[in-house]
Amino acid sequence: MKVPTMVEVIQAELKKRVLDGEFVPGDRLNVDELARVLNVSKTPIREALGRLAREGIVQSKPRIGWRVSLLSMEEFFQYQETQHVIKMYLAEQIFPYIDKIDIPKLEKMNGNMHHFVETGQFERMLEENDRFHMEVFGVYPNKVLLEYLEEVNNMIRLQRIHMMEQQLLSPESPLLQDAPKDHEEIIDAIKSGDRTRIIETSAKHQSTILAALKRPGKTS
């Protein structure tokens, strides 16, 4: 087993503190203070923060420094809508390339998601979910579009994890009841080579996600 580096340990610790709510969106992260609390030098702190920035969990702004990423709820739902539009466009465009999709890999990922839900590893489940969809859409040759989708995923990752975790704690959650079946249907549609089924199953899954992350005050 690979021994994690100091930077990886610090990255995991800071990420845990954010996700546990010790640091909340908008909080300033002082490099000197973090180095003192974690009893390390400032260099690995900065590198760990840089990695977290690439995940969308923190951000650095001139004259302000490092802060936990902050999106207003309106911005969150605008990014979520953008993500939805891109995914549905890709679902319509990948048909000529479906022979390049690694079906066994998708099946393994879906099995991992079942395991993560059963063991309460919700963050890992959500990360595997994103990898599942990028594995499907990644066969599309427009890399600029795929990179932008990943950027959008990162922008809303933190809020999405928090909101979905609350959904996953409920036995009636559509994420628990419908998402695993949605993934199986997507895999079956790809196996069938039926373009209409690929689009329909992707749309159904997106509806499941949107139902779980509803804008406050709106009904389905």
pLDDT, position 96 = 96
Measure the CA–CA gap between 92 and 83, rounded to whole angstroms: 15
Q: Give the closest residue to 145 by CA, choosing from 71, 106, 159, 153.
A: 153
Domain check: are 135 and 156 in the same one? yes
> Looking at the 3D structure of the chain, how many domains does it have?
2
**Residues 135, 26 share a domain:** no
Helical H runs in 5-102?
6-19, 31-38, 42-54, 73-93
pLDDT at 105: 97
- Determine, yes or no, domain membership for 218: no
43 and 144 housed in the same domain? no
Residue 11 counted as domain residue: yes
DSSP string across 111-172: HHHHHHHHTT-HHHHHHHHHHHHHHHHTTSS-HHHHHHHHHHHHHHHHHHHHHHHHHHTSTT
Task: Say how far apart CA 165 and CA 161 lie, in whole Å.
Answer: 6
96 belongs to a structural domain: yes
DSSP 3-state of 209: helix
- Could you tell me the residue range of the domain that residue 181 belongs to? 73-212
Other C-beta atoms within 10 Å of 25: how many? Answer: 16
Q: Which residues in the chain land under pLDDT 50? A: 218-220
Res 73: pLDDT: 78
Residue 136: how many CA atoms within 13 Å on its side-chain side?
30
The gap between the terminal CA atoms of the chain, to the nearest Å, is 46
pLDDT of residue 174: 63
Summarised one tens digit per residue, pLDDT across range 34-89 is 999 999 999 999 999 999 988 778 888 888 899 998 677 788 889 999 999 999 99
pLDDT given for residue 181 in this prediction = 86
Q: Which of 26, 53, 68 finishes a domain?
A: 68
Which pLDDT score is estimated for 219? Answer: 43
